[in-house]
Amino acid sequence: MSDPQIPDPVVSEVASAQRSDTRSQAPRWIRRMRRSPVAIAGFTIIGFFLLVVAFAPFLAPYSPLRQTLRSRYVPPMEGVSLRGPEGQLGIWVRDVNRSSAGELSVGEEAYPVRLFVRGERWTWLGGLLTSDRKLFGVDGPVRFYLLGTDEQGRDMLSRIIHGAWISLSIGLITVAIGIFIGVPIGALSGYFAGTTDLIVQRLIDTMLAFPGILLAIVLVATLGTGLTNVMIAVGIAAIPVYARLVRASVLSVREREYVEAARALGRRRVSTLVRHVMPNVLAPIIVQSSLQMAVAILFAAGLGFLGLGARPPQPEWGLMLSRGRDFLATAPHVATFPGLAIVFVVVGFNLVGDALRDALDPRL
Partner 1 sequence: MAVATPLERDLIQYTVRRLLIAFPSVFGVLIIVFLMVRLAPGDPAVFMAGEFAPPATIEAMRTRFGLDRPYHVQFGLYVGALVQGDLGRSTRTQRLVLDDLRQFFPNTLELAFGAMVIAMLVGIPAGVIAALRQNTWTDLLVTVGSLIGVSMPVFWFGLVAMLYFSVQLGWLPVAGRGTLAHLVLPAVSLGLGSMAIIARMTRSSMLEVLGLDYVRTARAKGLRQMRVVTKHALRNALIPVVTVGGLQFGQLLSGAVLTETVFAWPGIGRLLVDSIRARDYPVVQGSVLLIAITFIFINIAVDLLYGFIDPRIRYE
> For every residue of 137-148, which 3-state class applies, written as one string?
EECCCCCCCCCC
Task: Report yes or no: 143 and 71 within 8 Å, Cβ to Cβ.
Answer: yes
Task: Region of 17 please: left (phi>0), alpha (psi -120 to 50) or beta.
Answer: alpha
- Give whichever of 142 and 213 is closer to partner 1, judged by the CB atom: 213
Residue 96: name the closest of 68, 120, 121, 115 by CA. Answer: 68
Residue 155: name the closest of 54, 57, 65 by CA. Answer: 65
Question: CA 41 to CA 189: how far, in whole Å?
Answer: 37
Q: Where are the alpha helices (DSSP H) in the chain?
A: 9-23, 28-35, 37-54, 56-59, 156-177, 183-192, 194-208, 214-223, 227-254, 257-264, 269-272, 282-305, 317-323, 333-360
What is the sign of the dihedral through the CA atoms of 180, 183, 186 and 188?
A: negative
State the nearest-atom distance from the C-beta of 103 to partner 1, in Å: 21
Task: Report yes or no: 121 and 40 within 8 Å, Cβ to Cβ.
Answer: no
- Give whichever of 9 and 37 is closer to partner 1, judged by the CB atom: 37
State the nearest-atom distance from the C-beta of 126 to partner 1, in Å: 30
Using CB under 8 A as the binding rule, whether residue 273 contacts partner 1 is answered as no
Question: CA 323 to CA 67: how far, in whole Å?
Answer: 15
- Give whichever of 136 and 327 is closer to partner 1, judged by the CB atom: 327
Among 91, 296, 351, 356, indicate the residue that binds partner 1 (CB under 8 A). Answer: 351
Among 172, 193, 332, 358, indicate the residue that binds partner 1 (CB under 8 A). Answer: 332
Using CB under 8 A as the binding rule, whether residue 324 contacts partner 1 is answered as yes
Using CB under 8 A as the binding rule, whether residue 7 contacts partner 1 is answered as no
Task: Report yes or no: 241 and 210 within 8 Å, Cβ to Cβ.
Answer: no
Using CB under 8 A as the binding rule, whether residue 335 contacts partner 1 is answered as yes
Per-residue binding string, partner 1, 283-302, x by CB under 8 A, is -----------x---x--xx
Residue 93: name the closest of 109, 116, 69 by CA. Answer: 109
Using CB under 8 A as the binding rule, whether residue 202 contacts partner 1 is answered as yes
Number of residues that bind partner 1 (CB under 8 A): 45
Among 279, 312, 343, 361, indicate the residue that binds partner 1 (CB under 8 A). Answer: 343
Per-residue binding string, partner 1, 204-233, x by CB under 8 A, is -xxx-xxxxxx--xx-xxxxx---------
Per CB under 8 A, which region of 152-160, 199-207, 243-251, 267-275 contacts partner 1? 199-207
- Give whichever of 105 and 330 is closer to partner 1, judged by the CB atom: 330
State the nearest-atom distance from the C-beta of 224 to partner 1, in Å: 7
Using CB under 8 A as the binding rule, whether residue 309 contacts partner 1 is answered as no
Using CB under 8 A as the binding rule, whether residue 44 contacts partner 1 is answered as no
User: Taking each helix axis from N to C terminus, what angle separates 282-305 and 214-223, rounded to the nearest 10 degrees?
Assistant: 60
Footprint of partner 1 on this chain (CB under 8 A)?
202-203, 205-207, 209-214, 217-218, 220-224, 294, 298, 301-302, 305-308, 318, 321-322, 324-325, 328-329, 332, 335-336, 338-339, 342-343, 346-347, 350-351, 354
